[in-house]
Amino acid sequence: MKKHNFNAGPSILPQVAIENTAKAVLDLNGIGMSLLEISHRSKDFQAVIDEAVALFKELLAIPEGYQVLFLGGGASLQFCMVPFNLMNKKAAYLETGVWAKKALKEAKFFGEVNTVASSADKNFSYIPKGYTIPEDADYFHITTNNTIYGTEIHTDINCPIPLVADMSSDIMSRPVDVSKYALIYGGAQKNLGPAGVTFVIVREDVLGKFERPIPTMLDYRTHIKEGSMFNTPPVLPIFTIKETLKWIKSLGGLAELEKMNIAKGNLLYDAIDNSRMFVGTAEKESRSLMNICFVMKEQYKDKEDAFMEFAKGRGMIGIKGHRSVGGFRASTYNALPKESVEALIECMHDFEKQNA
């Protein structure tokens, strides 16, 4: 039976990226050695990281003056690296979910933090609007997609101060105007590769603005100077990122991928909105194209476990909602085929016919 992988992360990857990574683990490019055992300073791996950086820059049309880094520690380490490098006295944060809250918490170790707006009042089911960004802050931090609650910022906002974005779960899902951001970061394990590597896109002129001493490993300038090789980088995830980016390019780039993601999202949201049994949890204007969250309507709440078992029997993997929201979550990342969305919708329809 075919499996349909809706896991929120680590998540589905392009099959070609998985296959090519598996081949490289056995023998990288016919050199007679595994990707796992060559020196990270060899010309063979330097070619891998150079191509990954070049593809990042090409697909996102990254302007001059920016650097692409591949680091360890996950996006969670960036929660402190960002303020360590960018905050002098004050920063502003948009609170839209668990990960935004965690980033905000870390920033408070480095100075004053202004929460410009929060959607906590409605369990983070919407993206706040109409807030004012304080122009005396050193930067404004946003989390563009909220995996747990299924909300997303779909446009690149205009910001009067340096804009920082955690794009862990929607990077490479649409074109991005990188010039509007001072720094973009994220864990790779949603749309890019396996867990274990973090990407950072940083505009060099925002660094080194004040005298705070920064530990060597936590200073972005260290990793820029050394080309992400100050210490041994996570070689296998970087290779898989390269292969995933090649796959994205082969599809026609981010504009084409965005069309595919919109089509998948519209299919599933339409099915939810027209269902007698299911209902979406995120405000319609804030709905994510990466993580589609829904629950049973009140009169059918007692059937949630039954639907989970029914869906599992149809090959649906990873659709259980986060414990803080409940219900169901279908993560429709780039590599998820439209056929999997259609299979989930058919599964929902069939369960509804039998139980509603």
What the block records as the tokens of 319 is: 């659709």
Q: Is 99 a catalytic residue?
A: yes
Q: How far apart are CA 355 and CA 352, in angstroms?
A: 5
- The pairing of strands 112-118 and 4-5 is unpaired
Handedness of CA 193, 191, 146, 297 (dihedral sign): negative
Round the CA-based radius of gyration of the chain to a whole number and report it.
21
Residues 102, 148 contacting (CB under 8 angstroms): no
The residue among 97, 93, 86 whose CA lies nearest residue 124 is: 97
HSE-up (13 A, CA, CB side) for residue 333: 30
Helix (H) and strand (E) counts for the chain?
9, 14
DSSP one-letter code for 293: E
- Catalytic residue (choose from 23, 90, 122, 190): 190
List CB contacts of 266: < 8 A, sequence separation 6 or more: none
- Catalytic residue (choose from 138, 166, 170, 219): 166
- Catalytic residue (choose from 99, 170, 264, 303): 99
Q: How far apart are CA 297 and CA 277, in angstroms?
A: 6
List CB contacts of 148: < 8 A, sequence separation 6 or more: 97, 98, 99, 124, 291, 322, 324, 325, 329
Catalytic residues, which ones?
Answer: 99, 166, 190
